[in-house]
Structure 1
Amino acid sequence: MNDSLNTPSVTDEAQPPHMKHSCEHHAECMKIIQAILDGEATEEEKDHFRDNMDKCIPCIESYRLEKCIKDSLNFKLEKKPCPQSILNTIISKINS
């Protein structure tokens, strides 16, 4: 079983008193979370997220959920190379 599935929820653990229970900019945080999980985040985005993780319960929970989903999909999906004929067709349509 995936270890991230066994990670207790932040809401199940004792929470430091400085933790936020709502995120005023959750949509922006979700974009950063996706960029981090996709390996496309800038260092500035990573730093912002690290700072935010120390104080925002919704962002912690969203990160854990998104990571769990991504890990599950990577584990379950079989990766197969795309046939060269399909690649050639796509490239020719792009170039035309």
Structure 2
Amino acid sequence: MNASLTTPSVEEGAEKQNMKHTCEHHAECMKIIQSILDDEATEAEKDHFRENMDKCIPCIESYRLEKCIKDSLNLKIEKKPCPQSILNTIISKINS
């Protein structure tokens, strides 16, 4: 995850700024959040999200939740290499 995407404290930010409590385009924001967390977002998407999350509480909370879930899963999942026999089977089925 890109370390430059830090989220402000929701409570502090809401008091200091006039923050939105609803997001009119939440589905689009969730797609961008997923792209960012998967390191697949373009710089334009990252810039748009940084700008939006400074004033949108639902986006800040969604980003934090999704990041927490992803980080937790990464800690719990044991990464094992795929056996060569399975790879060969998949490749042969793709090529047939």
TM > 0.5 fold call? yes
Q: For each residue in 1:39-83, what CA deviation from the matched residue of structure 2 results, as whole angstroms up to 9, or x when unmatched?
A: 000111000000001100000000000000000000011000000
The percent identity for this pair of structures is 86
Q: Which ranges in structure 1 are unaligned for 5 or more consecutive residues?
A: 1-8
Residues 55-94 of structure 1 correspond to what in structure 2 (within 5 A)?
A: 55-94=55-94
Within-5 A mapping of 1:1-96: 10=10, 13-14=11-12, 15=14, 16-96=16-96
Q: Distance in 1 between matches of 2:32 and 2:42?
A: 9
Unpaired runs of 5+ residues, structure 2, are 1-8
1:90 is aligned with what amino acid? Answer: I
Amino acid at match of 1:72: S
The amino acid across from 1:24 in the alignment is: E
Alignment: residue pair count: 87
Quick one: distance in 2 between partners of 1:28 and 1:17? 23
Q: TM-score, structure 1 length as denominator?
A: 0.86
